[in-house]
Structure 1
Amino acid sequence: MYRSRDIAVQLSERIKELSKKILAETGRDELNIMNFCGTHEWTITHYGLRSLMPPSVNLVAGPGCPVCITPGYYIDILIDASFERNTIVITYGDAFKLPGSRNKHPRSLFHAKANGGNVKVVYSFQDAVKEAVREPGKKHVFLAVGFETTMPATAIPLVSGKIPRNLYILSAYRLTPPIMRFLLEKHPEIRLDGIIAPGHVSAVIGANSWRFVAEEYGIPIVVSGFEPLDVVLSIYMILKSIEEGRPRLMNEYTRVVNPDGNTYALKAISEAYTVKDSYWRGIGSVPLSGAVHSPRYSNYDYLESMGFKETITDDKHPGCICDKVVLGLAKPTQCPLFMKACTPNNPYGPCMVSSEGTCRIWAENMPVLHGAVLK
């Protein structure tokens, strides 16, 4: 009986054969396959999957971290709010140390709390609801960070009428198909031969949401699971599609993802939120990539309730190349601050903050990286 490791090794040999054949036929030097999920990048890095690839197959980390691209302006607003009387700011732990756009103290909600700001870290939006119910005399502001995966967490309670009136939401939600289209159109210098689509996101929005990648751009794309064997198999499927000359959408993660997604969650999302052009930290404004509350639920929208207007600020910090890392234009090890002024314990740039940030993933897996990524 074969073990997963044996199958992965066999697939890696087939990947070497396929890539050699493809390169010989096309005259290319390398093939670039990008993942759009921080968890996929963690699997690739933690299990040393790059070491199974031939030098000609380049696994590129793409925009798979929602915390990394959250505008610093939002953090600035919440830092100020945490010092207001009778106001409590609530955040996930992943965004607790995310720096704002100001180059002054306090730079993050972590620093704000250390200086007396009223900030609480929760594991889920339901915890935020419980906090607001427990203290009805105080205003609670929840930082809603995430891609489509986490949107149902607020959308379903909103449309079900289960959110107390003293709880507000600052929606930092961003949508993944628009950033994929943006990258393919605005950054052709990143020549992609295949894409590994995010499994968690696809469980919500459905595999068919990625069909445009193959049909409009001629790039094979695979919705992948998160086990090492899932990822290696997905890479093989991409190369096989290239060899056959038939770029198409494939679903390796059929045990979780169906073609049309989670219709119950999608219905709640479409009722609770509307789509608009939105800013991605360090990247710029991406068409139809953000979610704001629909008019029916706008009284829960913190920015609208407080009269804040969307503002694009210079939230790049000197020396940090997180924007290039997010887009796959650079590796974390090319940043002069990586594991020097910027570490997991003391993150300077946003890519080192979240467990889904490429810099954080690489920093915490340096022994595995040696000799695999740094080739």
Structure 2
Amino acid sequence: MNPPRGTRPPTIKDVAAAAGTSHATVSRYLNKRSYVSAASGQAIEAAIREVGYVPNRTARSLVRRQTQAIAFVVREHADLFFADPNLSRMAIGANTTLSAAGYQMFMLIVDTDESGERIVDLILGGFVDGAVLVAMQHDDPVAVALSASATPLVTASRPLGDGRTPSVDTDNVAGSAAITRRLRQTGRERVAEIRGPAAAPVSALRHAGFVQAMGEAYDESLVTTAAEWTLAAGSAAMAELLDRAPDLDGVVAASDLLAAGALPVLRARHRRVPEDVGVVGFDDSPWAIQTQPALSTVRQDATATGVRMAEILLGRLAGEDVAGRHEIIPNQVIWRESA
């Protein structure tokens, strides 16, 4: 029978006494560490119900040195993270896969140096079994600290400098090259680029695709770098390009948000889109269909990226050798009115 209210909570010793077996047998059964006969298991289950025992999952995880928890770590301002559909889809893909494997995913946002330090301390303190790292910057202190530890990791975007951490990414180079070529095929001759922020590895990859597609027509004076991934930064970059090259007739932006920021500046300078200037973005975010005209862009499968990151991390936790693995997921050009 259940203990009367106000007494101590039942323990596995109470379960063992009610089941007529040893404390060690109950412990083995609860932690699934070795064989327990079917008869003993049935007796233990009946005893658990009889005494009202509730397993202490935290204590059990410490014994097994597993938490069944994974950290999904994103370096981004909180408002931008929740507004970015690719980041949220990535998180959904990872969470769905981890949940199906019996893991709980925790979302951790790095938006200041202090939050980064707290998150590193949390992960290195053993509160999770591994971590998914997203939107890390060049030489990111969070990524550097975690990659120097034994914590199982996987990252989005290009590999970390350690050469061991596996990664999954959309094909940024090929996607940027494909949409740049498509824009040039419309007859554009003076094509400019709004690069993403210098600290983001993805910016260099998409710039490499732009350079590849431009070939001998590449002109460094028609390239500027946005300060951040915002509408305001896209507007400032567009204004700078027009001041520098008022005759430009095409713009390749490193994201839809930067491209959306460029459009009002072009209108203010009496440059029609797409008649005078063709504009393209990257990501196929909600911004791509909210702008006037709708943006031509590159659609990436962020959900698939999240799924693969989770699968690779689960493989690592199961003992699979995934060191140095880097997977690229294809994307596709979505052609709309802006170009």
TM bucket, shorter chain: 0.3 to 0.5
Scaled by the length of structure 2, the TM-score of the pair is 0.36
Structure ranking higher on relative contact order (CA contacts 8 Å, 6+ apart): 1
Tell me which structure has the larger Cα radius of gyration. 2
